[in-house]
Structure 1
Amino acid sequence: MKRCLMVALDGLRPDMVNATNTPHLAALAARGTRFANARSVFPSETRVATPSLITGCRPGGHGMVANTLFDASVAPDRLLRTKLVEDVLAMAAGGETPLQRPSLGERLARQGKTFALVSAGTAGAARLLHPAAERLGSFRWNVEDTEGATAAEVRDALGATPPHATPNTARVEFAGRVLIEHVLPRHRPDVALIWLSEPDVAFHWAGLGSEATLAALRAADAVLGRIIAWRDAQPDAAEIGLIILSDHGHVTGHGKMSLREELCRAGFRAGTGMGTDVDVVVAPASAPGLWLRDAALAPQIADYLATQNWAGPLLARDPAILAAGRVLPLSLLGSAHARSADLVVTFAGDEEPDHWSLPGRAPFDAPDVPDGGGMHGGLHRAELATVLVMQGGAFGAGIVAEEPADLTDIVPTLLHGMGLAGEGMEGRALRAAYRAADDAPPLRETLEAPGNFVLEAMRAAEGGRLYPTALRRAG
């Protein structure tokens, strides 16, 4: 395999891939290798998932621990929002990137290969996906770019970028044109990644099964169809692999709330920055982080949350912050880092169908998402399940692989297929991508979690990494 095209459909649930919603993806999955047990990382958020994909490491390794987080050494009075380039660069503290592991672009450059990124997502996510673009002299373009040589290059070639809309269909379609009409013929990268912001945007604002959402999903699939057609028309089509992925799934938000306000009502001094009148900094999310002025507050907060029927188990950067049996360590999921919150709250979701008959609902804390909108970030089965399909090039045909996989395994698999080195990553090359005989079903286990919950999980081998599958109530 000499080249590879990666296509990310942000937030796509695998149970929504079918001949009606996604005809091109469904057909490609039947022709290639589909990973039935593909999962996200925790937290299952885009700017945690993108570094995990591009570095082949989980958050504890690369250091991007949440979409929204608190770091007193960077901004003591406010939360950092990683969708913003300025906050990503603030976290880098004068360096190129806050990521603490090399990216795919860097790995390819060391081996004489090139990488290009086309992104219809946020500018911060694009920076995390290709942080070394300027230093390497390679292509990185995002729909929010208005300044600089790359923005001018795209504008001169294809005209102005459409404005943001909900759904974000026009920008998704334009990003497809940037890749197919400009990047692939002009730059001819060895590996290219296009990040499509749909169906995630529509899921959040219109709900998982709305007509607007399904139209946005079909539009994203149509972009994929044009990419497949471009690949198939190339003289070296047999040497070009395709990897189609989603970074996380979605549940339907059911019971919107503000954890900060709930904590304040319970008598805690909670806020969004560590001011003189704040003891607990809260980052809203589907798995909100709590940064404590004093670790002695942890037992009090845990006692309060244990009385709330919407609260699931707590996770901690340092589990010694609470008595044994009261908290799960973030390290269990590969998510413990110096930037991690002292405590991470989970919400108690269920498997009940939403009003579109899609299973999975959960409370959430997101000020700008309506109740009933799609959400992700936690450990619900529907948040963790992802799409992963590999086809063409060195990849096998007509395989439904059972081996566990997550985002960190994708780049090692890509590099292996191209005959390139991939040392130093936590992920592993997925052998079933190339040969059905190398597939093996996962070793499944169930771990007890505080508060009468259980965590379903998988391993590829005895003693191997844990792949979380679902957090649910016991019984």
Structure 2
Amino acid sequence: MPCVSRVVLFGFDGLRPDRVTPTTMPHLARFVAEGTRFANARSVFPSETRVAIPSLATGCRPGTHGLVANSLYDAAAAPERVLNTKHAADIDALVAAHGRLLAVPSLGARLAAAGHALDVVWTGTVGAGRAFFPEAEALDAFRWHPEEAVGPARGLDTRFGAAPPAGTPNTPRVRHAARLFLEHVLGERRATVAAFWSSEPDVTYHYCGVGSLEAETAMHEVDAAFAEVLRWRDAQPDRDGIVVFALSDHGHVTGEAQLDLRALLNKGGFAAGRDFGNGTEVALGGGGAPGLWLRDPRETARLASWLNDQPWTGLVLAREAGIPGTIPLATLGARHARSPDLAVTFAGSSAPDPRGVPGRGLIDTGDVPVGGGMHGGLHERELATVLAMAGGPVLRGAVMQDAADLTDIAPSVLALLELSSEGMDGRPLAQAWGNAPDAAPDHDELRPVEGRAGLRLFRLGATHRPDAMIEA
């Protein structure tokens, strides 16, 4: 395989692959067409950023790395409340309780052990940035976020100015970070691997809608930042040795109606809340696939049965196997000691929303308005991700049909640098550079309750990966 000198990862939070067109994102669309694209690229379950990001960073599934939900319960870290992993204080609580954030090393730690550097510029939440490279501070490595910089990233405000405040759209902050990434990280530091994460279009998808003018404007602006990275690559003396990955962590569906899961559970006879205080028997997470932690696990089967009787329920998943009407989380590589007793996804359809964008679902009570985007569940539009690469030995103009997901990205980076990915759940996507065959994946289907929603799975040997919910 020809020598690879550097790798650049460019992440578009929440970007749906079907929204990448020559009109909305001309530079990314051309990049995807000219390199190697994975047509069956998927997220993990739950399809939430702070589950997806450590899966990308470690090459391992949520059940292996342990960050199993955006909002999760961990009795050792906070015995009476659910933690929200976007907050630095809640990340600190997990680290204090367990000595580390993730149960396995990240790509950055593996690269450091092999004598290579990973530089990270992040514009999503602080928690997600930490989950991408949690060892950065201990290794004195470069990880920059507008609200938290570690290692050599400290003090860059003097040169680049303070980052704009977070907003909707978040493109001013993304533009600021992109300048820092281009001029300093790529232009001067020249790390073996450099990663840039754009919080757009996820922010505008959530609050303005997937097909909104605001979302299309945000996509166009982030596409311009990506174009600058490609122009930088083309000007380098080692251009032929630079591999660029373009990727997203999950997609979105349009929230066509809101429900209040906590109120519905209470009405159904289950004392539910966001923590275990005040007589709460069921502690709730949030998002598009809320976790439910039971004070008395013996009530799991009864709660699962009740959930399956509700018209707004899509699929019910369980930490323990054998609960009637549920899919075991282990089937999706998502079972861990801190996984919820049950997770529920909401009913959805492939029907178009009022703007003509296919994919509808429901929103649990929160700050996302009706008509805004939501993710976390198993809808095809939530799971489908952008995954393309180009440069170095990567084939030109190729479309791969084999199943791929976030856990395959770190092993692929390591393979391109001729480093081992032993211990990772994912596998190098070597078909992208002609070192492995490509074939359409095999499928299995699960339908836990007759007449209700089901789940289509990719079958890879003895393991499964989620492909898409099957509508009822």
Please give the range of the TM-score, normalised by the shorter of the 2 chains.
over 0.9
SS at match of 1:112: coil
- Which residue number corresponds to residue 188 of structure 2? 186
2:76 to 73, 77, 80: 73
What is the Cα deviation at residue 395 of structure 1?
1.2
What is the Cα deviation at residue 96 of structure 1?
5.6
Taking the aligned partners of 2:344 and 2:54, their CA distance within structure 1 comes to 22
Taking the aligned partners of 2:141 and 2:314, their CA distance within structure 1 comes to 44
- Which residue number corresponds to residue 202 of structure 1? 204
Taking the aligned partners of 1:427 and 1:175, their CA distance within structure 2 comes to 30
What is the Cα deviation at residue 117 of structure 1?
0.4
What per-residue deviation string (whole Å, max 9, x for no partner) do you get for residues 264-304 of structure 1?
Answer: 11221111111241111111221111110112222332232
Taking the aligned partners of 1:339 and 1:67, their CA distance within structure 2 comes to 12
Q: Is this contact kept in 2: 1:251–1:376, CA < 8 A? A: yes
Q: Which amino acid aligns with 2:369?
A: P
What is the Cα deviation at residue 366 of structure 1?
4.5
Taking structure 2 as the reference length, the TM-score comes to 0.96
Taking the aligned partners of 1:365 and 1:141, their CA distance within structure 2 comes to 32
Q: Which amino acid aligns with 2:445?
A: T
Task: Give the direction of change, closer, same or farther, for the CA distance of 1:98–1:152 in structure 2 (3 Å limit).
Answer: closer
- Which residue number corresponds to residue 411 of structure 1? 410
Q: Which amino acid aligns with 1:465?
A: T
What per-residue deviation string (whole Å, max 9, x for no partner) do you get for residues 25-57 of structure 1?
Answer: 011111100000000000000000000000000
SS at match of 2:370: coil
- Which residue number corresponds to residue 395 of structure 1? 394
Q: Which amino acid aligns with 1:125?
A: A
Q: Which amino acid aligns with 2:424?
A: M
- Which residue number corresponds to residue 177 of structure 2? 175
Taking the aligned partners of 1:101 and 1:216, their CA distance within structure 2 comes to 34
- Which residue number corresponds to residue 342 of structure 1? 341
Q: Is this contact kept in 2: 1:311–1:345, CA < 8 A? A: yes
Q: Is this contact kept in 2: 1:328–1:450, CA < 8 A? A: no
Taking the aligned partners of 2:278 and 2:375, their CA distance within structure 1 comes to 32
Q: Is this contact kept in 2: 1:286–1:377, CA < 8 A? A: yes
Q: Is this contact kept in 2: 1:401–1:436, CA < 8 A? A: no
Taking the aligned partners of 1:95 and 1:117, their CA distance within structure 2 comes to 24
Task: Give the direction of change, closer, same or farther, for the CA distance of 1:28–1:96 in structure 2 (3 Å limit).
Answer: farther
1:471 aligns with 2:466: no
- Which residue number corresponds to residue 310 of structure 1? 312
Aligned runs of 1:435-474 on 2, under 5 Å? 435=434, 438-451=437-450, 452-460=452-460, 463-474=461-472
Q: Is this contact kept in 2: 1:70–1:291, CA < 8 A? A: yes
Of 150-159 and 268-277, more deviation after overlay is shown by 150-159
Q: Is this contact kept in 1: 2:274–2:283, CA < 8 A? A: yes
Taking the aligned partners of 2:205 and 2:183, their CA distance within structure 1 comes to 28
Q: Is this contact kept in 2: 1:348–1:472, CA < 8 A? A: no
Which residues of structure 2 form unaligned runs of 5+?
Answer: none
Q: Which amino acid aligns with 1:269?
A: A
Taking the aligned partners of 1:14 and 1:260, their CA distance within structure 2 comes to 33
SS at match of 2:129: helix
Q: Which amino acid aligns with 1:473?
A: E
Q: Which amino acid aligns with 2:463?
A: R
- Which residue number corresponds to residue 250 of structure 1? 252
- Which residue number corresponds to residue 357 of structure 1? 356
Q: Is this contact kept in 2: 1:89–1:96, CA < 8 A? A: no
SS at match of 1:449: coil
SS at match of 1:466: strand
Taking the aligned partners of 1:150 and 1:419, their CA distance within structure 2 comes to 27
What is the Cα deviation at residue 178 of structure 1?
1.1
Q: Which amino acid aligns with 1:348?
A: A
What is the Cα deviation at residue 465 of structure 1?
2.6
SS at match of 1:415: helix
What is the Cα deviation at residue 165 of structure 1?
1.3
Identity %: 49
Q: Which amino acid aligns with 1:429?
A: P
What is the Cα deviation at residue 464 of structure 1?
4.0
What is the Cα deviation at residue 364 of structure 1?
2.3
Taking the aligned partners of 2:370 and 2:132, their CA distance within structure 1 comes to 30
What is the Cα deviation at residue 473 of structure 1?
2.7
- Which residue number corresponds to residue 162 of structure 2? 160
1:42 aligns with 2:40: no
Q: Is this contact kept in 2: 1:286–1:366, CA < 8 A? A: no
Of 184-193 and 10-19, more deviation after overlay is shown by 184-193
- Which residue number corresponds to residue 301 of structure 1? 303
Taking the aligned partners of 2:463 and 2:224, their CA distance within structure 1 comes to 36
SS at match of 1:73: coil
Taking the aligned partners of 1:15 and 1:424, their CA distance within structure 2 comes to 33
Q: Is this contact kept in 2: 1:49–1:248, CA < 8 A? A: yes
Task: Give the direction of change, closer, same or farther, for the CA distance of 1:366–1:426 in structure 2 (3 Å limit).
Answer: farther
- Which residue number corresponds to residue 110 of structure 1? 113
1:216 to 218, 221, 231: 218
What per-residue deviation string (whole Å, max 9, x for no partner) do you get for residues 331-387 of structure 1?
Answer: 000000001000111111111101121111011214111111000000000000000
1:281 to 271, 280, 283: 283
SS at match of 2:463: coil
Taking structure 1 as the reference length, the TM-score comes to 0.95
1:82 to 70, 80, 85: 85
What is the Cα deviation at residue 92 of structure 1?
1.4
SS at match of 2:155: helix
SS at match of 1:78: coil
Taking the aligned partners of 1:134 and 1:368, their CA distance within structure 2 comes to 33
Taking the aligned partners of 1:149 and 1:435, their CA distance within structure 2 comes to 38
Task: Give the direction of change, closer, same or farther, for the CA distance of 1:441–1:235 in structure 2 (3 Å limit).
Answer: same
Q: Which amino acid aligns with 1:82?
A: T
Taking the aligned partners of 1:449 and 1:236, their CA distance within structure 2 comes to 53
Q: Is this contact kept in 1: 2:308–2:316, CA < 8 A? A: no
Q: Is this contact kept in 2: 1:76–1:273, CA < 8 A? A: no
Taking the aligned partners of 2:317 and 2:284, their CA distance within structure 1 comes to 14
Q: Is this contact kept in 1: 2:141–2:151, CA < 8 A? A: no
Taking the aligned partners of 1:341 and 1:24, their CA distance within structure 2 comes to 41
Taking the aligned partners of 1:230 and 1:450, their CA distance within structure 2 comes to 53
Q: Which amino acid aligns with 2:304?
A: A
What is the Cα deviation at residue 150 of structure 1?
5.0
Q: Is this contact kept in 2: 1:258–1:284, CA < 8 A? A: no
Q: Is this contact kept in 2: 1:8–1:196, CA < 8 A? A: yes
SS at match of 2:309: coil
- Which residue number corresponds to residue 237 of structure 2? 235
Q: Which amino acid aligns with 1:216?
A: A
- Which residue number corresponds to residue 27 of structure 1? 30
Q: Which amino acid aligns with 1:74?
A: A
What per-residue deviation string (whole Å, max 9, x for no partner) do you get for residues 51-109 of structure 1?
Answer: 00000000000000000112222212322111111111211125663200110011101
